Amino acid sequence: MAADDQRVRKNGPDSAVDRRNTLRMKEIIGFDGVADPFESRRAAERMAWLLVQHADLNPSFQKYWFALM
């Protein structure tokens, strides 16, 4: 997901990629619950942070993620 995110940034924002990544991130971190701390890794967290920054179409999700950090 991070590779797709960065690839499309070269040509400007891509809301379709951002939407897809936001939905997947919600699944991964359990947006309606608590993320599993054993699945977190430093590199994965950096990539997740990158993707959440571009979830501008879903500010409540961004706020939720920022609170987790």
Q: Looking at the whole model, is its pTM more than 0.75?
A: no
Domain that residue 46 falls in: 2-68
Confidence class for position 34, pLDDT limits 50, 70, 90: low
Total domains in the fold of the chain: 1
Sign of CA dihedral 31, 23, 42, 6: negative
Q: pLDDT class for 20, splitting at 50, 70, 90?
A: very high
Out of 6-10, 16-20, 22-26, 33-37, which region has the weakest mean confidence (pLDDT)?
A: 33-37
d(CA 2, CA 51): 7
Express each pLDDT in 37-53 by its tens digit: 555 566 677 888 888 88
Residue 2 vs residues 21, 34, 44, 59: alpha-carbon distances, Å: 9, 22, 9, 19
